């Protein structure tokens, strides 16, 4: 009797998460392109706008671990449905802000609601994907997130020519609601319970997978003492520090410091996000390939060890060049090179976390977003006090070097359940 051809339900599950990531970054980044209009309408200074940008990432960071625990405890189906409904409501509510306080409140609640999206997705991948496919899946996931953000830049510019920024935000918010309804109807936390998964595909998914119960207590002491997790947190915080410059202040930098008009800014601000998309996909694919050839320790490290130092060089060149267009291209190159180390980090979280993948990835992403919280605040304060773009961009290059050093201490064999 011929072997049953495997179904491909896991690819549909990945497709859902890719669409999720694109919508998330579309909703998250649209405020950066609209920032000049929002600031002018509400009378906000650069420093105040920096605080608005940081409000989201601070709340997001603080709630990553609780939301990761929630995903480990209750599964990705209910967790992602709750997250998307919440953040979609806050995206729409952004258009109702009447001043600094209300805008800060909405952005804080936005961050609280969206926290846990990537840890919950990591939980879904850990249950639905064999280990050999996870690095590539994370590369695709973050690639589509970046492409969603890239699409947001020119799209927001086009919408702002037709309507006010207040009218644009509810349009973006509606997309997530449609996704949440479809996800709840289709997804199941255990692939064995999904009608679209046949026996052959299930065997592929389960091959080599450790059992991942929803209710296993978290060994918090082992998690906190895990040296690889500590290094991951340092690396991700330093790497995402630069990422958030591209997500928040880059359109303003291109307008003010480099003299581009708004029609060009939408496309030029999208370039680093397109480069990030290429970088995370390449990094995830390379880390899977190199892990098979060199072992997980060397294979997962290599993309970040190469990418981050080169990114530091590219940022430095962007600051020093007198050419506005070269500066934009150097920043895009820096974003893509730094992104090489992102997808492998999420794959390492699954390898060291096992049944606690949500908590482990949530801890890493907490520190990433603490770096993301610091970045826009540093830019806003630098502009307010010294009217300087050079100082914050130099700090981006410095943090990229810190991220490269941290990769040297990361070892996927040091799992939390054995006290690594």
Residue 382 lies in a domain: yes
User: What would the two tokens of residue 101 be?
Assistant: 């306080």
Task: Provide the whole-model pTM.
Answer: 0.71
Highest mean pLDDT among 139-143, 148-152, 337-341: 337-341
Confidence of residue 2 (pLDDT cuts 50, 70, 90): very low
Going by C-beta distance under 8 Å and a sequence separation of 6 or more, which residues neighbour residue 265? 33, 153, 157, 251, 254, 255
Residues 283 and 139: beta-carbon distance below 8 Å = yes
- Number of domains forming the structure of the chain: 1
pLDDT at 171 over 50: yes
Quick one: 177 exposed, middle or buried, by C-beta within 10 A (0-12, 13-18, 19+)? middle
CATH at residue 190: 1.20.1250.20
Give me the percent of the chain exceeding a pLDDT of 90. Answer: 30
The answer, yes or no, to whether residue 243 has pLDDT greater than 50, is yes
Place of tokens 């599964």: 75
- Report the alpha-carbon distance of residue 379 to residue 154 in Å, rounded: 23
Alpha-carbon gap, residue 165 to 95, rounded angstroms: 7
Averaged confidence pLDDT in the chain = 85
Asked if residue 57 belongs to a domain, the reply is yes
Q: What pLDDT was estimated at residue 220?
A: 66
Q: Which of 6-20, 94-108, 273-287, 316-330 is the most confident on average?
A: 316-330
Residue 215 lies in a domain: no
Residue 397, pLDDT score: 96
Dihedral over alpha carbons 94, 95, 96, 97 (to 10 degrees) = 60
Any domain includes 214: no
Domain-located, residue 1: no
Q: Are 15 and 128 in contact (CB under 8 A)?
A: no
The residue-averaged pLDDT of 1-22 equals 82
Check: CB of residue 185 under 8 Å from CB of residue 196: no
Distance between CA atoms of 312 and 300, rounded to whole angstroms? 20
Q: Within 10 Å of residue 224's Cβ, how many Cβ atoms?
A: 11
Task: Confirm whether 247 is domain-assigned.
Answer: yes
Q: Provide the b/e sequence for 379-403 (b: ≥16 CB within 10 Å).
A: bbbbbeeeeebeebbebbbebbebb
- 197 contacts 48 by C-beta, under 8 angstroms: no
pLDDT digits (tens, 9 = 90+) for 385-409: 888 889 999 999 999 999 999 999 9
> In terms of residue numbers, what domain contains 123?
9-208+220-418
pLDDT at position 122 is 83
What is the rounded distance in angstroms from the CA atom of residue 90 to the CA atom of residue 397? Answer: 33
Place of tokens 């303003």: 252
* Alpha carbon distances (Å) from 214 to 161, 255, 267: 48, 49, 44
Taking residue 128's Cβ as centre, other Cβ atoms within 10 Å add up to: 28
Give the pLDDT band (50/70/90) at residue 188. very high
Check whether 43 has a pLDDT greater than 60: yes
Residue 29 lies in a domain: yes
């Amino acid at each position: 009797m011929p072997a049953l051809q495997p179904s491909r339900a896991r690819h549909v599950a990945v497709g859902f998460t890719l669409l999720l990531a694109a919508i998330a970054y579309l909703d998250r980044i649209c405020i950066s392109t609209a920032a000049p209009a929002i600031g002018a309408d509400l009378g906000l200074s650069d420093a105040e706008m920096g605080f608005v940008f940081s409000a989201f990432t601070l709340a997001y960071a603080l709630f990553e671990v609780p939301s990761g625990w929630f995903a480990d405890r209750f599964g990705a189906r209910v967790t992602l449905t709750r997250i998307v409904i919440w953040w979609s409501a806050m995206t729409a509510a952004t258009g109702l802000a009447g001043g600094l306080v209300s805008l800060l409140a909405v952005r804080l609640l936005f961050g609280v609601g969206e926290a846990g999206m990537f840890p919950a997705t990591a939980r879904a991948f850990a249950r639905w994907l064999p280990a050999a496919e996870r690095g590539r899946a994370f590369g695709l996931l973050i690639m589509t997130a970046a492409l969603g953000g890239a699409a947001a830049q020119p799209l927001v510019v086009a919408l702002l020519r037709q309507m006010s920024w207040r009218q644009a935000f509810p349009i973006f918010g509606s997309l997530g609601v449609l996704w949440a309804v479809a996800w709840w109807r289709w997804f199941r936390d255990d692939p064995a319970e999904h009608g679209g998964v046949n026996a052959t595909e299930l065997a592929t998914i389960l091959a080599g997978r450790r059992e991942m119960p929803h209710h296993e207590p978290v060994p918090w002491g082992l998690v906190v003492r895990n040296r690889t997790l500590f290094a991951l947190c340092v690396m991700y915080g330093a790497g995402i520090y630069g990422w958030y410059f591209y997500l928040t202040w880059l359109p303003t930098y291109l307008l003010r410091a480099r003299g581009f008009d708004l029609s060009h800014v939408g496309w030029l601000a999208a370039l680093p996000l397109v480069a990030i998309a290429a970088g995370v996909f390449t990094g995830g694919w390379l880390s899977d390939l190199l892990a098979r050839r060199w072992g997980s320790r060397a294979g997962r490290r290599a993309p970040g060890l190469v990418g981050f130092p080169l990114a530091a060089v590219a940022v430095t060149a962007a600051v020093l060049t007198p050419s506005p267009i070269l500066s934009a291209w150097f920043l895009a190159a820096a974003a893509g090179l730094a992104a090489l180390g992102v997808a492998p980090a999420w794959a390492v979280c699954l390898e060291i976390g096992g049944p606690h993948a949500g908590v482990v990835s949530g801890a890493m992403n907490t520190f990433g977003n603490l770096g993301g919280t610091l970045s826009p605040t540093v830019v806003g304060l630098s502009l307010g006090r010294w009217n300087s773009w050079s100082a914050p961009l130099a700090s981006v290059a410095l943090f990229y070097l810190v991220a490269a050093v941290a990769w040297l201490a990361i070892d996927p064999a040091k799992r939390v359940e054995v006290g690594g």
